[in-house]
């Protein structure tokens, strides 16, 4: 399927972005994919490719662009060091849910220039670090984001001022939040806070915990990848986008 590499200018610099489209001329509904903290790599690109195979134009920004030319080992190598945060922490410190939401403004402006994008409404999906970013985009651009999905998002209903759950009152799209039952970055009390925030705001949503899953279960290049749970996650994601984007 067709791939494009473009540079999208943001307020903070140049964001390398991959576009993956279905075969043909379109137009197609667009989905923005927010990466995890292991950086841009083949497993993330495959997410965009699978979305394209299901009829969506997938836009995949490298949200570590503020780090300049960076290198992150493969997930297997990074996890083997025993100090993952020493590797990814400096890059994560330069972004976050609200910074990603700021970047999304420019991503949307870019999508608006493309004749192969169908309609103004888009979907967002994110994994780990990107889970909160996908939700923050939904709360920052409620008239554009018709559906948002977060998978094993850490800290998405925390006490921090940029916690994505605080944007629930602004969300208009349908929200899907999938957490793991063995994830210290999304403990039961945080899951309850997220559910309460979405319910109190009257947001159409479903927030659930995947039994037996660990943080990062959706990513096939993670040591804790769970194929059964990952396929369940994909079914939920594609159904969410089909309901709201067609």
Q: What is the mean pLDDT of each successive set of 10 residues along the chain, which is 246 residues long?
A: 96 98 95 96 97 98 96 90 90 94 98 97 97 98 98 95 97 98 93 98 97 94 95 98 96
Identify each DSSP E strand in the chain by its residue range.
Answer: 3-10, 13-20, 28-34, 57-61, 117-127, 145-151, 174-182, 205-214
H helix or E strand, kind and range, residue 171: none
The pTM for the full model equals: 0.97
Q: pLDDT tens across 176-199, in order?
A: 999 999 899 999 999 999 999 999
Expressed in angstroms, the distance from the first to the final Cα of the chain is 20
- Enter the DSSP assignment of 143: T
Residue pLDDT, tens place only, 202-231: 999 999 999 999 999 999 999 999 999 999
Report the Cα 1 to chain-centroid distance in Å.
Answer: 21
| pLDDT reported for residue 107 | 98
Q: Which candidate, 101, 120, 124, 123, places its Cα nearest to that of 112?
A: 120
Shortest CA distance to 132 belongs to which of 82, 84, 107, 166?
166
Domains of the chain are 3-245 (3.40.50.1820)
Q: Which residues are CB-neighbours of 189 under 8 A, at least 6 positions away?
A: none
Report pLDDT for 1: 84
């Amino acid at each position: 399927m067709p791939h494009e590499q473009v540079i999208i200018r943001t307020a903070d610099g140049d964001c390398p972005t991959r576009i993956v489209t279905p075969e043909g001329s379109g137009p197609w509904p667009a989905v923005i994919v927010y990466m995890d903290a292991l950086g841009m790599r083949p497993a993330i690109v495959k997410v965009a490719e699978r979305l394209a195979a299901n009829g969506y134009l997938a836009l995949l920004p490298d949200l570590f662009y503020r780090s300049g030319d960076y290198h992150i080992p493969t997930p297997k190598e990074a996890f083997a060091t025993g100090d993952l945060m020493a590797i990814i922490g400096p890059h994560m410190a330069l972004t976050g849910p609200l910074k990603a939401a700021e970047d999304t403004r420019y991503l949307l402006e870019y999508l608006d220039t493309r004749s192969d994008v169908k309609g103004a409404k888009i979907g967002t999906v994110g994994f780990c670090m990107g889970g909160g970013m996908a939700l923050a985009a939904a709360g920052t651009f409620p008239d554009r984001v018709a559906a948002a999905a977060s998978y094993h998002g850490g800290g998405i209903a925390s006490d921090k001022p940029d916690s994505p759950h605080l944007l629930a009152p602004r969300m208009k799209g349908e929200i899907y939040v999938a957490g793991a039952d063995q994830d210290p970055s999304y403990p039961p009390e945080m899951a309850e806070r997220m559910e309460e925030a979405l319910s109190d705001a009257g947001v159409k949503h479903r927030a659930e915990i995947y039994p037996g899953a660990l943080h990062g279960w959706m990513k096939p290049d993670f040591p804790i990848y769970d194929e059964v749970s990952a396929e369940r996650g994909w079914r939920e994601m594609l159904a969410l986008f089909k309901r709201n984007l067609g």
